[in-house]
Structure 1
Amino acid sequence: MNRLKDIFTFSEEFPLIFTQINFWIFFAVAYFIFALLYKRIHLRNAYLLLISLFFYYKTSGLFVGILLFSTVSDFFIGKFIYNSTHELKRKILVTLSVCINLLTLSYFKYAYFFTDSFNALFHTDYEVVNWLALWANGFTDLSYFTVDAIILPVGISFYTFQTISYSVDIYRSKITPLNSIVDFGFYVSFFPQLVAGPIVRAEHFVPQITRPTIVSKEDFNKGTFMILKGLIKKMIFADYIAMHFMDRVFDTPDMYSGFTNIMALIGYSLQIYGDFSGYTDIAIGLALLMGFQLPVNFNSPYKAINCGDFWKRWHISLSTWLRDYLYIPLGGNRKGTIASFIILSVLLIGVVFALGDPIVTAVVAFVVLVLGVLAIRYKAVGKHINANINLMLTMLIGGLWHGASWKFVLWGGLNGLGIVVYKYWRKVSPYENSTKWFSHFWKIFITFSFITYVRIYFRGESMDHISKWYHQIVTNMDFENALAVLVHYKIVFIIMIIGYVSHWLPQKFKDNLESKYATSPIYVKGIVATLVSVLCYQAFSSDFQPFIYFQF
């Protein structure tokens, strides 16, 4: 009874995380009640809204109020957009929706980023004050909320993008608004994907809300398979290798050789894939068990043959969201707008300033100057710049979405640069149309190496940590002791090999494995589930291991 009390009351010590038993007890109870209600659509939606809000409350406490604010404001703005016949009014309303959501996101996620950048640029010493907490404390004599810190609500980047897509899709006449705020609240807060995606587009999910629940045998089989696969990815290929190797190295990179640092970075590529795709696999599986389809978010990203291909396979719901709601509205590959040039200039200046390296500053200034002169003198150069400026801007903003730091902007910019370079390289590459296995292997190897290398700006705690990592790579590779490192962490490296090999297996083999699971008797499924549970339990640590993308 005490365990149930801990699960169904708020406690920071007992969050509802997919990898903890508390969540599965919660889901079992919630699913039992769902089975009694699912035939009545409105009651089903109201029930799922309530347990989703409770799930978020268990994860983020009173920040559920921010989720409710976003839900209420966008529900009514969506109604006003749909009912308005005046185009200017419709534009004002959709702009209002975007501004409310982005300002809310910016307040909680980027307040320190903007303040620190301003202080560094103008040599001031402004401090962040939580004005929302100050206002809330004004209603009582007691100070319930701290005013000297702004805490980032879990998953705010995900549900903010979902509510924006709802208003924009109504404006574009792709959907009609939901009549019930309960139904809309369910769309915004559906608990499997609420805190770490995938980002659900209104045009894809809203039509499911008013349909009867149908959980077919195929849905059950695929749903349970996805859950088991996700648990293995997260608890073994992500958490185990992180706890027993990578976290130690990244915490103090200067204490390890360059070789060990490189191996840790290679391991991190497996960790972040296992962590994030594991979460979305579980989310998709849970949704299927309740009769709802969530979008695919990963498609074997480390099989990508170039950077552009990688971003079509990695975090697909974000990549397509940025394409449809940012890249194309800015002009796509046709032209760069004045806004594009201004925003890109600000971001580039910020990255250069954050790096603080005079050589980098000089190189960037020289490249910008040369490109500017060539664009003025030669129209063809200007055309190429216009064709790529929105791509670079989208990747830079995508980097900023991932974290409120200039190192994330730099990471996004490097990925964008990788896409642009490949666009021109493929025109002269003698291997572009080659069907030989070695050419295909080489493309995958180069792409994986580049994606893994730039992740140091994603994983590094600070630019100082990243500098230490580089220093060890350049000055202390220590190949003489490489074998000793591999032997000492042999279990970790064996798991890494298994993880990468399983990722690179042919898709046909994976489909056959899923098919065999689906057609197996129920007792076989039970045995498989038991074995996976035991395996994950053996790898489980008492240390709390949140999903990486919770911070976004």
Structure 2
Amino acid sequence: MNRLFDIFSFSEDFPLIFTQANFWIFFAVIYFIYATVYNKKSLRSAYLFAISLLFYYKTSGLFIGILLFSTVNDFFLGKAIYNSKSVIFQKILVAISVIVNLTTLCYFKYAYFFTDSYNYLFETDYEVINYLAQWTNTWSGTDYFTVDKIILPVGISFYTFQTISYSVDIYRKQIEPLKSIIDFGFFVSFFPQLVAGPIVRASDFVPQIRKDINITKEDFGNATFMILKGLIKKMLFADYIAANFMDRVFDVPEMFSGFTNIMAMFGYSLQIYGDFSGYTDIAIGLALLMGYKLPVNFNSPYKAIHCGDFWRRWHISLSSWLKDYLYIPIGGNRNGSVFSYVFITVFTFLGAFAYADFGIAIIATAGAGLLLIVTLFSSKLAWHFNRNVNIMITMLVGGLWHGASWKFVIWGGLNGIGIVTYKYWRLISPYENSKAWYAIVWRIALTFIFITFTRVYFRGNSMDHIDRFYQQVMTNMDWQNALLVLWEYRTVFIIMLIGYITHWLPYKTKDWVLDQFIKSNMVIKAVVVIVVAMICYQTYAADFQPFIYFQF
């Protein structure tokens, strides 16, 4: 009973993480009750909303207030947008929704980034003060919240984008507003995908809220398979190789050879895929067990044949969100916009100043301004510029979404350059239309290596940390001891090899395995569950490994 009390009450020592037994006890209890209410639509929504709030409270404590604020704000704005007869007023209301949501996100996620950048630009020494916490403590007469730092609420990047999509989709007349704030709260806070995605579009999920629930044998088998697959990805292909190899290398890259650092980067590509896609697999499986379908978030991304293809396969819910709510509205691949030109000019100045000096920033900005002026007189140059500027903006914003640091901006920018470069390379590529297996393997390998090495900026703790990695790679490969490294970490590398082989298996093979699992009887399913549980138990670390995307 004490453990149940700990599971259903807030405690930093007992977080509800998919890879811990506490979560599965929690889910078993709430699923048993769900089985008695799922056919009563209003009660079902209320129950899942309450459970989702409890889940978030277990994860983030009183930051649940931010989630509730976002829910109430966008519920009533959505109604106002739908009921307004004035297009101008509708646009104003949509703008309010976007501004309020993004301001809240920026306050919690980017306060340090903006403050540090301002201090660097103007040589000031301002410090971040959590005025919201200060006001809350004064209003409540307590000192519960820390005022000298701002803590990022878990999942705020994900549910912020969901609530924005709701307001925009109503404005676009893709959906009608929900009549019940309980139903809307359920959409915003649905616990399987609340803290790390996938990002759910209102137009995709809202129609499911009032539907009849009918969980078939195929749904149950598919859901169970997704959960088991997600656990294997997270605990074996992510946590095990991180704890037993990669974290050691990344903590002090200068203590290891360049070869070892490179192998750690290849390991990190598997880790982050196993970690993030493992979470979304489990989330999709849990939702399906309750009768709801979440969007696919990964499609074998390391089978991508170019950088653009990769981003159509990786974190699909974010990539498609940025495409539909940012890239296309600012002009897509046809037109630049005032936003595009202002953004690229300001960003050029800030980026150059951050990594060079004021003089270089002025020269770079003048160059960008001159380019923009030239496009006014050259339709051909304008065509090339407008085709690509919005891609770069989208990737830079996507990089910044992942983390409040210039290294994430660089990571996003490198991926943008990769996409743009390929658009021109394919015009002269000798193997662009080749169906030969070696041409396809070459394109996949080249893309995979590019994606892996740009992730140095994603994984590195700081620019100095990244520089130390590159220093080892450039000056200390130590090839003569490469076989020794492979032997010393042989278990890790075998698991990495298995992970990549299973990832690159043909779709037909993967579909066949899933189909066989769904068709199998309950005894076979139970045996598979036990085997997976034993594998996960053997790889379980004493210190739990939170999902990487919790920090975003």
Write out per-residue CA displacement over residues 43-92 of structure 1, whole angstroms, 9 at most, x where no aligned residue: 00000000000000000000000000000000000000000001111011
Which residue in 1 is equivalent to 2:342? 342
User: Partner residue of 1:427?
Assistant: 427
Q: 1: CA distance between counterparts of 2:357 and 2:306?
A: 29
Is the 8 Å Cα contact of residues 196 and 279 (structure 2) preserved in structure 1?
yes
In structure 2, the residue matched to 1:226 is 226
- Aligned partner of residue 175 in structure 1, secondary structure: coil
Contact map agreement 1:347 1:409 (CA 8 A) in 2: no
Counterpart Cα distance in 2 of 1:310 and 1:360: 33
Kept in 2: contact 1:119–1:125 (CA 8 A): yes
Q: Which amino acid in the other structure matches residue 149 of structure 2?
A: A
Q: Is 2:503 the partner of 1:503? A: yes
- 2:443 counterpart residue number: 443
Note the C-alpha offset of 1:267. 0.4
Partner of 1:171: 171
Residue 523 (structure 1) aligns with: 523
C-alpha contact 2:353 2:360 (8 A) present in aligned 1: no
2:82 aligned residue: 82
Contact 1:19–1:235, Cα closer than 8 Å, also in 2: yes
Letter in 2 for 1:308: G
Q: Which amino acid aligns with 1:392?
A: M
Please, which moves more after superposition, 137-146 or 103-112?
Answer: 137-146
Q: Deviations over 1:186-208 (max 9, x none)?
A: 00000000000000000000000
CA distance in 2, matches of 1:498, 1:323: 34
Gap regions ≥5 residues in structure 2: none
Please tell me whether the aligned partners of residues 16 and 55 of structure 1 are also in contact (alpha carbons under 8 angstroms).
yes
Question: Is 1:350–1:406's contact at 8 Å kept on the other side of the alignment?
Answer: no
SS of 1:481's equivalent in the other structure is helix
Q: What SS does the corresponding residue of 2:176 show, helix, strand or coil? A: coil
Residue equivalent to 2:253:
253
Q: Secondary structure at the match of 1:428?
A: coil
Q: How many angstroms does 1:344 deviate by? A: 2.0
Q: Which piece of structure 1 moves more, 95-104 or 366-375?
A: 366-375
- Taking the TM superposition and a 5 Å limit, the aligned residue runs for 1:125-524 are 125-356=125-356, 368=368, 371=371, 375=375, 378-524=378-524
1:338 deviation in Å? 1.5
Cα distance in structure 1, aligned partners of 2:15 and 2:307: 36
The verdict on how the C-alpha distance between 1:448 and 1:359 changes in structure 2, with shifts beyond 3 A counting, is farther
Query: Which residue of structure 2 lines up, in the alignment, with residue 536 of structure 1?
Result: 536
Contact 1:347 1:396 in 2 (8 A): no
- In 2, distance between residues paired with 1:361 and 1:140? 47
Give how far 1:343 is off.
1.3
Report the equivalent of 2:25: 25
* Pair 196,475 (structure 1): closer, same or farther in 2 beyond 3 Å: same
**In the alignment, is the contact (CA less than 8 A) between 2:222 and 2:285 conserved in 1?**
yes
> Using the alignment, how far apart are the partners of 1:253 and 1:370 within structure 2?
42
The separation in 2 between residues aligned to 1:137 and 1:370, in whole angstroms, is: 51
Structure 2 equivalent of residue 38 of structure 1: 38
Residues paired across the two proteins, number: 552
Indicate the larger mover: 359-368 or 266-275. Answer: 359-368
Once the two structures are overlaid, the 10-residue window that deviates more, 207-216 or 530-539, is 207-216
Deviation at 1:449, TM superposition (A): 0.5
User: Amino acid of the residue matched to residue 302 of structure 2?
Assistant: Y
Identity of aligned residues (%): 66
Shift of 1:370: 7.7
Counterpart CA distance in 1 for 2:115 and 2:289 is 45
Native 8 Å contact 1:49 1:185 kept in 2: yes
> Match of 2:9?
9
Q: Normalized against structure 2, the TM-score is what?
A: 0.98
CA deviation after TM superposition for structure 1 residue 342, in Å = 1.2
Alpha-carbon separation, structure 1, partners of 2:60 and 2:184 = 21
Distance 1:468 1:276 in 2: 27
CA contact (8 A) 2:219 2:288 kept: yes
Give the match for residue 60 of structure 1: 60
Distance 2:124 2:179 in 1: 50
Please give the per-residue CA displacement for 1:76-119, whole angstroms capped at 9, x wherever unaligned.
00000000001111011010000010000000000000000000
SS at match of 1:394: helix
- Show CA shifts across 1:468-496 (max 9, x none): 01111111111111111111111000000
Is contact 1:71-1:163 (8 Å) kept? yes
* Change beyond 3 A, Cα 1:521–1:547: same
Q: Aligned-pair RMSD on alpha carbons?
A: 1.6
One-letter amino acid of the counterpart of residue 414, structure 1: L
1:464 & 1:124 partners in 2: Cα distance? Answer: 22
Secondary structure at 2:427's aligned position in 1? Answer: helix
For residues 158 and 465 of structure 2, the distance between their equivalents in structure 1, rounded to whole angstroms, comes to 28
Residue 192 of structure 1: SS of its match in structure 2?
helix
Task: Letter of the 1:388 partner, please give it.
Answer: N
Q: In the aligned structure 1, how far is the partner of 2:171 from the partner of 2:283?
A: 29
Contact 2:306 2:443 in 1 (8 A): yes
In the TM superposition, residue 354 of structure 1 has moved relative to its aligned partner by 3.3
Q: Report how far residue 362 of structure 1 moved.
A: 10
Work out the CA distance in 2 between the residues paired with 1:267 and 1:363: 40
Give the aligned partner of residue 546 of structure 1. 546
C-alpha deviations, 1:520-543, integer Å up to 9, x for none?
111000000000000000000011
Instruction: Tell me whether 477-486 or 526-535 shows the greater mean CA deviation.
Output: 477-486
Deviation at 1:323, TM superposition (A): 0.3
Residue segments in structure 1 that go unaligned for 5+ positions in a row = none
Deviation at 1:431, TM superposition (A): 0.6
The answer to whether the 8 Å contact 2:241/2:271 transfers is yes
1:7–1:26 CA contact under 8 A, matched in 2? yes
For residues 71 and 142 of structure 1, the distance between their equivalents in structure 2, rounded to whole angstroms, comes to: 26
Structure 1 residue 355, shift from structure 2 partner: 3.0
Q: Kindly state the Cα deviation for residue 353 of structure 1 after the two structures are TM-superposed.
A: 3.1
CA contact (8 A) 2:81 2:94 kept: yes
The CA distance in 2 between the partners of 1:57 and 1:48, in whole Å, is: 14
Distance 2:485 2:363 in 1: 38
Contact 1:351–1:410 (CA<8 Å) still a contact in 2? no
Instruction: Give the Cα–Cα distance (whole angstroms) in 2 for the partners of residues 414 and 399 of structure 1.
Output: 10
Shift of 1:214: 1.3
Decide whether the 8 Å contact of 2:345 with 2:369 is kept in 1: no
Q: Write out per-residue CA displacement over residues 110-133 of structure 1, whole angstroms, 9 at most, x where no aligned residue.
A: 000000000000000101010111
Residues 244 and 492, structure 1, Cα contact 8 Å, conserved in 2: yes
Shift of the alpha carbon at 1:378? 3.3
CA distance 1:435–1:388, change in 2 (3 Å):
same
- Per the alignment, residue 91 of structure 1 pairs with 91
Distance in 1 between residues matched to 2:293 and 2:323, nearest whole Å: 22
Letter in 2 for 1:286: L
One-letter amino acid of the structure 1 residue matched with residue 420 of structure 2: V
- The CA distance in 2 between the partners of 1:248 and 1:354, in whole Å, is 30
1-structure distance, mates of 2:346, 2:186? 38
Q: Structure 1 residue 212: deviation in Å?
A: 1.6
Q: By how many angstroms is 1:356 displaced?
A: 3.6
